[in-house]
Structures are given as structure tokens and as C-alpha cells.
Amino acid sequence: MASSVQPDPWAALDALWGRGAAKPVEATVAATAFYGRCSTEDNQDPQTSRGWQLDNARRFIEPRGGRIVAEYFDIGESRSVPWHRRPAAAQLLLDLKDRGRGWGAVVVGEGTRCWFGNQFSLTAPRLAAYGVDLWVPELGGRFDARNPSHAMLMSLLGGMSESERRHVQLRVRAAMDAQVRNEGRHQGGRAPYGYVVVDGGPHPHPRKAAEGRRLRVLQLDPDAAAVVARIFAEYLESRTDREIATALSSDGIPCPSARCPAQNRHRRGDGWQASTVRAILENPRYTGYAVFGRWTKHDVLLDPDDVAAGHVVRFRRADPCDVARSEQPAHPGIVSVADFTQVQLLRRAKARGGSMIERTARRTVHQYRLQGLIRCALCGRKMESCFRGARVYYRCLARTLPTGARPDHPTSVYLREDAVLQRVDPWVATNQLAGLPGAGRREDTAGTADVYRALGLALRFDTNSATLTAVITSPPAGRKVLATETRRTWTKVP
């Protein structure tokens, strides 16, 4: 027919503008990066979890011509942690900027596993900005930002992820509580000082027994158990935590961390501290009853002024009425329930009396922004925060050292917090880590203790030379330190 050979006057312009060619409803997928995540809260081992997530993703995009060419998988990262603080996800976001990354789309195996709360609304626009498509199985296709039902569904998924996580946590906790109450089963973890974990026969659950899992029970470690008994006895003779600690040190009794260095790697063999004695005196497991849930996990905002920075997990002492206790003794006791109760009553009375000797009596009213971040260069221990006059100080006291351990240590080392912040805040600001929340902002919000911790900041104060050294030890993965400087020393620090 004549019309079919007649040239279309618009043809050249249409070709130039790309008009006329109807866009396919479902675009085909090109080279794709897979993202997945798993952690202990999902109750699945990483291998299995990665396996099915990858399978899901493949089944989803391969029929559309997609091919997975890169893999980003976070292990051990809670879903409440935002993308820029999960190492693999942060790497993925970083690679977006790399033209040679070799992929043009991202696929996940399950959306609820990857995005929590409002995280999706913070991630998707970044991918879109780099022209990277996002394939989500729950959407049945590619995420389309212009499609209001997609946006709604993704925010629903984020909410579902949040509630699912809470349910899993409650279920696990309830199961553990029931096991402790009914069977007095040891719930894993380190044995308290005075005990060792031993084999307790095959696991009572048939499937777990078939997998070769065995029960673990607590047994007395006679030497250490005698020390625990001594601590309780001395406390009942109205000695203080510190007096008991000093007496143990001067008797040459190895402290828990020295006795079992492999188990207590995070503590130094500094000798007996009042806090060690306190922890023993307040541990109800010495009665022989199994106890679970003395500490609970909480999600707290990393930076209250920056909700998008997400949460960090913190342990908090549980309300005593929420702690699960076995109905029958579960392991050999070291102290009677009556004596243990008597000790708790005495401690409570002392705390009420306002005695500053027991740590329970102290109340933290001030925010210590460098809590746990400064070490004393002379003895290597963390400096403790305190409040004097109207100022926050960090101090290291010789009297809490084991007797005669460091004769050269001054009686007390004091360091003013404002003197440190004056130097560290601007340094962190200029040494800003890309995308790190809090860093580089105004001084009043820059660097709360958690922000500094996330940055891997460590400080060391040498009182003899009045020098303060700051080191950024482990910048979060996937983030670049903009300045080359990760260490700085100041002299003449008051």
C-alpha cells in the first residue's frame, strides 16, 4: 500500500526524541546485584538464609532475562540498623557512585528482611538517582516510584518488618523463659565465675539430639566457688565491695579475668575491682537456681536528632520482676537463697542511705559524652566519668589498682571533659566521615558518645606529659575517611 512506503514526516524527530516507541510495561532486567541480610534475630544460620534469599531473587529475575553478577550480603546485622551502617549495604551504596560497578539493578530475596521501618524511603531514592532499578519480590516486579501503590506497599512492608522482628524476639524470649522455669536449662553464654560449663547429655529435643546437639550444664569450679562463698560471707560481715576487692587482691587471688583470660578477653587482668565484687553479689545464679533475662536488649536511637541514622542495640538491666527463674535448683548452689536475699536487702538499705561506696547509689544525671572512650596511658584502664564542682571530669584512681601493681601511678589523674571536647569536636568535624550521622555538625550535637563510638574513636591521656591522643580505629565499613588524618595528638592538655 502507498501509505506504508510514504515517509512519515515525524519519523526523524520521533527517533531523535525517542517518542512513538511504546515503553514495555515490564522492563527487562540487566546485570543485577543481589542484596540480602541475616542475623541471629532471624533464628537461621547464614548459609541457609543466604541460600534461600538468593534462590528467591534468581527465580524472580531470571525469567525476565536478569542475571546476578554481584552479591552483597550482611551477616549479623540487625534489620533495625540502617543501610549505611550495615557493611555490605554500605558498600552497595558506595558502589552506586562507581561507573564500573558492572550492574544496573538491585534485587532482594525478601523485602521485609532488607528494609525496616522507614528505611526503604531512605534507600530507594538513592538507587533511583543513579539510575539503578530495584526489584522487590513482594511488589511482583520493579519498584516504580511514580506508582503510589508501590510506595504504600513498601512502607507497609517496613512496618511489617518491624512487627515481625518484635514477634520473633518475644517468641524466643518466651521459649527461653519457659525452658528456664520448667527445666532450669543453661541458656548458653559464659559460665559465671565459680562455675564451669560441662556436657549434660544429649539434647532433650529429638531433632536437635539427632543433629548431635547436647545439653550444657553448670558445674562447680571448686577454687573459684570458694572465693564466691568468701565474698558473700565478707559482705554479710558488713565489708564494702571495695574492701572485699582489696582483700582478695592482697591475698593474691586471681581475679575472674586473670583466671580465665580466654573467656574474658574484653577485660584486663587488673585485679579485683569493686565492680567485679558487685557483679558477683548481685548474681542470683549463685543460689543454684537458673535465671534468665537479667539483661534485655533495647533499640535506642544512635542520634536522637537524626532518626534516619537508625538504632543501636543496648543492653539494659531488666526489671527484677521480669526475670525468669527455674522452679527447682538447676545447678549446685554456692550461697543459700536466704543469704542471697539478705545481701540484696543490705545493698538496698545502703543505697537508700545515700552511701557513695556502693555503685548502686550513684545516679547518672549528667551526660558523659566520652564515657568509656578515654584510657589512662599509665595503666591502660578506661578512665571513669565523674562530676566535680560544675564540671565533668574523667579520672583514674590509683586506689582501684591492685595493691602495688603500679607504684609510679599518681594517686589520681583528672582530665576535664570540656578540655577534651574543645580539641576533639573540631578535629572530628574536619575529619568528617562521609555520611556519618552527627559528625561535622554543629558542636552542640556533633559527637554524642554513641556517634563517637560508631566512629571508632579512642582517646588516650598521658598525665605525665599532658598529652592527649585521638585515634579513629575502625571507621565503619563502606565509609571513607575524607581527611587522611586518623590520628592526632595534643600537648599541654590541662
Q: Which of residues 252-291 bind Zn ion (CB under 5 A)?
A: none
The region of 185-193, 230-238, 325-333, 372-380 touching Zn ion under the rule CB under 5 A is 372-380
Going 55 to 56 to 59 to 65, the CA torsion angle's sign is negative
Under rule CB under 5 A, residue 376 binds Zn ion: yes
SS3 221: coil
Question: Of 27 and 398, which CB lies nearer to Zn ion in the complex structure?
Answer: 398
Q: Which is nearer to Zn ion, 74 or 417 (CB)?
A: 417
Interior/surface letters 274-309, b for 16+ CB within 10 angstroms, e for the rest = bebbbebbebbbbbbbbbbbbeeeebeebbeeeeeb
Segments of 280-348 assigned E as strands: 289-292, 295-301, 311-317, 324-329
CA 223, CA 259: separation in Å to the nearest integer? 10
Shortest spacing between CB 472 and Zn ion, in angstroms: 23
Closest residue (Cβ) to Zn ion? 376
Residues 100-129: x/- map of binding to Zn ion (CB under 5 A)?
Answer: ------------------------------
The count of other CB atoms within 10 Å of the CB of residue 59 is: 11
Stretch of 178-186, 263-271, 295-303, 377-385 lying at the interface with Zn ion (CB under 5 A): 377-385
Among residues 119 and 400, whose Cβ is nearest to Zn ion? Answer: 400
Asked if residues 119 and 93 have their Cβ atoms less than 8 Å apart, the reply is: no
Residue 273 C-beta: closest distance to Zn ion, Å: 13
Exposed e or buried b per residue across 466-490, where buried means at least 16 C-beta atoms within 10 angstroms of its C-beta: eebebebeebbebbeeeeeeeeeeb
Binding piece for Zn ion, criterion CB under 5 A, among 152-160, 184-192, 346-354, 368-376 = 368-376
Closer by beta carbon to Zn ion, 239 or else 268: 268
- Work out whether 374 is an interface residue with Zn ion (CB under 5 A): no
Say whether residue 244 binds Zn ion (CB under 5 A): no
Among the listed residues 467, 362, 472, 488, the one whose alpha carbon sits nearest the alpha carbon of residue 415: 467
Cβ atoms of 407 and 414 within 8 Å: the answer is no
Maximum distance among all Cα pairs of the chain, rounded to whole angstroms: 113
Least gap, CB of 396 to Zn ion (angstroms): 3
Among residues 413 and 436, whose Cβ is nearest to Zn ion?
A: 413
- Point out which residues pair with 298 in neighbouring strands: 314
What minimum distance in Å lies between the beta carbon of 356 and Zn ion? 21
Judged by CB under 5 A, the stretch of 207-215, 287-295, 309-317, 371-379 that binds Zn ion is 371-379
Minimum CB distance to Zn ion, residue 379 (Å): 3
Candidates 379, 420, 459, 470: give the one binding Zn ion (CB under 5 A).
379
Q: How far is the CB of 400 from Zn ion (least distance, A)?
A: 9
From the list 244, 255, 374, 396, which residue makes contact with Zn ion (rule: CB under 5 A)?
A: 396
Q: How many residues bind Zn ion (CB under 5 A)?
A: 4
Query: Which part of the chain contacts Zn ion (CB under 5 A), choosing from 56-64, 351-359, 375-383, 453-461?
Result: 375-383
124 or 383: CB nearest Zn ion: 383
Task: Please report how close the Cβ of residue 414 comes to Zn ion at its closest, in angstroms.
Answer: 11
C-alpha cell recorded at residue 130: 543513579
Which is nearer to Zn ion, 376 or 433 (by Cβ)? 376
User: What is the spatial distance between Cα 361 and Cα 236, in angstroms, rounded to a whole number?
Assistant: 18
By the 8 A CB rule, do 469 and 487 touch? Answer: yes
Minimum separation from the CB atom of position 463 to Zn ion (A): 8
Cell numbers standing for residue 67: 542475571
Interface stretch with Zn ion, choices 206-214, 280-288, 309-317, 392-400 (CB under 5 A): 392-400
The answer to whether 433 and 475 have CB atoms below 8 angstroms apart is yes
CB of 236 to Zn ion, least distance (A): 32
Taking the least distance from each CB to Zn ion, the nearer of 227 and 378 is 378
**Residue 134 lies near Zn ion (rule: CB under 5 A):** no
Which residue, 343 or 378, has its beta carbon nearer to Zn ion? 378
Task: Please list the residues that pair with 314 across neighbouring strands.
Answer: 298
Closer residue to Zn ion, CB minimum distance, 130 or 368? 368
Residue type, 132: V
Q: How far is CA 193 from CA 180, 196, 257, in A?
A: 20, 8, 9
Least Å distance, CB 270 to Zn ion, is: 10
The CB-based long-range contact list for 97-104 (8 Å cut-off, 24+ gap) reads 97/130, 101/33, 101/70, 102/31, 102/69, 102/70, 103/30, 103/31, 103/32, 103/33, 103/69, 103/70, 103/132, 104/30, 104/31, 104/32, 104/131, 104/132, 104/133
Residue 378 as a binder of Zn ion (CB under 5 A): the answer is: yes
Handedness of CA 374, 358, 272, 293 (dihedral sign): negative
Q: Which is nearer to Zn ion, 287 or 371 (CB)?
A: 371
Residue with Cβ nearer Zn ion (306 or 462) = 462
**Residue 207: all three cell numbers together:** 531433632
Binding residues for Zn ion, rule: CB under 5 A, are 376, 378-379, 396
